[in-house]
Chains A and B, each alone.
Chain A
Amino acid sequence: DAKTTQPPSMDCAEGRAANLPCNHSTISGNEYVYWYRQIHSQGPQYIIHGLKNNETNEMASLIITEDRKSSTLILPHATLRDTAVYYCIVRFMTTDSWGKLQFGAGTQVVVTP
């Protein structure tokens, strides 16, 4: 199963774009990259996911490199409410696995005024 590597923390100024990196160098061709975030005392919130192509929704953009070994989550205009732990997860399916989410330690993002 593919593992992910994220920086433990990063700061971002309010109103600026936040670029969150994730390394998943052992990812396989049928494995999706998912991003979630968890604001203190709340459940994880789904942000975005992708397979090969870049994706964008109302919350963020996901840029996946051509070799799929890394990705970047972009929050275009960070606000104080974006302060959270951000999780990058590679989701896979095998005969024994049904596509479970395996959460790591994530990146603690702090947005400052």
Chain B
Amino acid sequence: ETGVTQTPRHLVMGMTNKKSLKCEQHLGHNAMYWYKQSAKKPLELMFVYNFKEQTENNSVPSRFSPECPNSSHLFLHLHTLQPEDSALYLCASSQYRALNQPQHFGDGTRLSIL
């Protein structure tokens, strides 16, 4: 139990569907992150939120739309995805800009695009 919960754990969707991934942290952190992990590739940072404000977007396609209503919840809205978007999507949280405080990760959502 890391204190970061992601739902659903598995998701299969067609390219025309719209779905959302949810992340919740119970650690009192003020920053939340979305990462993508494709097969045989290192984790790639997608988005960073600090106190609900997006502070980083690593050139992520617009078919991925993040939302952070408060510092405990983070969503990733998905629409018109492509087969290459199939991956493990990981959420993490931490204290923002605190080098000596670790990020804690959830167990991810395994996404498959048909």
Q: Show the binding face of A for B, using Cβ within 8 Å.
A: 30-32, 34, 41-46, 49, 51, 91-93, 98-101, 103-105
- Is B100 in contact with A32, judged by CB distance below 8 angstroms? yes
Contacts of A45 in B (CB 8 A): 2, 105
Contacts of A100 in B (CB 8 A): 45, 48, 56
Known contacts A41-B110, A93-B99, A99-B97, A105 near B105 by CB under 8 Å? no
Contacts of A34 in B (CB 8 A): 102
Contacts of A30 in B (CB 8 A): 99
Given A45-B2, A100-B48, 19 more contacts at CB 8 Å?
A: A30-B99, A31-B99, A34-B102, A42-B107, A43-B6, A43-B105, A43-B108, A44-B90, A46-B102, A46-B103, A49-B100, A92-B99, A98-B55, A98-B56, A98-B96, A99-B99, A100-B45, A103-B42, A103-B43
Known contacts A41-B110, A104-B42, A98 near B48 by CB under 8 Å? yes
A45 to B1, CA, bound (A): 10
- Is A42 in contact with B103, judged by CB distance below 8 angstroms? no
Contacts of A91 in B (CB 8 A): 99
A41 to B10, CA, bound (A): 11
A100 to B99, CA, bound (A): 9
Confirm or deny: B52 has a beta carbon within 8 angstroms of a beta carbon on chain A: no
For A31, give the chain B residue with the smallest CB separation: B99
CB < 8 Å neighbour of B97 from A32, A41, A98, A104: A98
CB < 8 Å neighbour of A46 from B50, B55, B97, B104: B104
Confirm or deny: B98 has a beta carbon within 8 angstroms of a beta carbon on chain A: yes
Which 3 residue pairs of A and B lie closest in terms of their CB atoms, listed nearest first? A43-B105, A103-B43, A46-B102
Q: Which of B6, B88, B90, B99 gathers most chain A CB within 10 Å?
A: B99
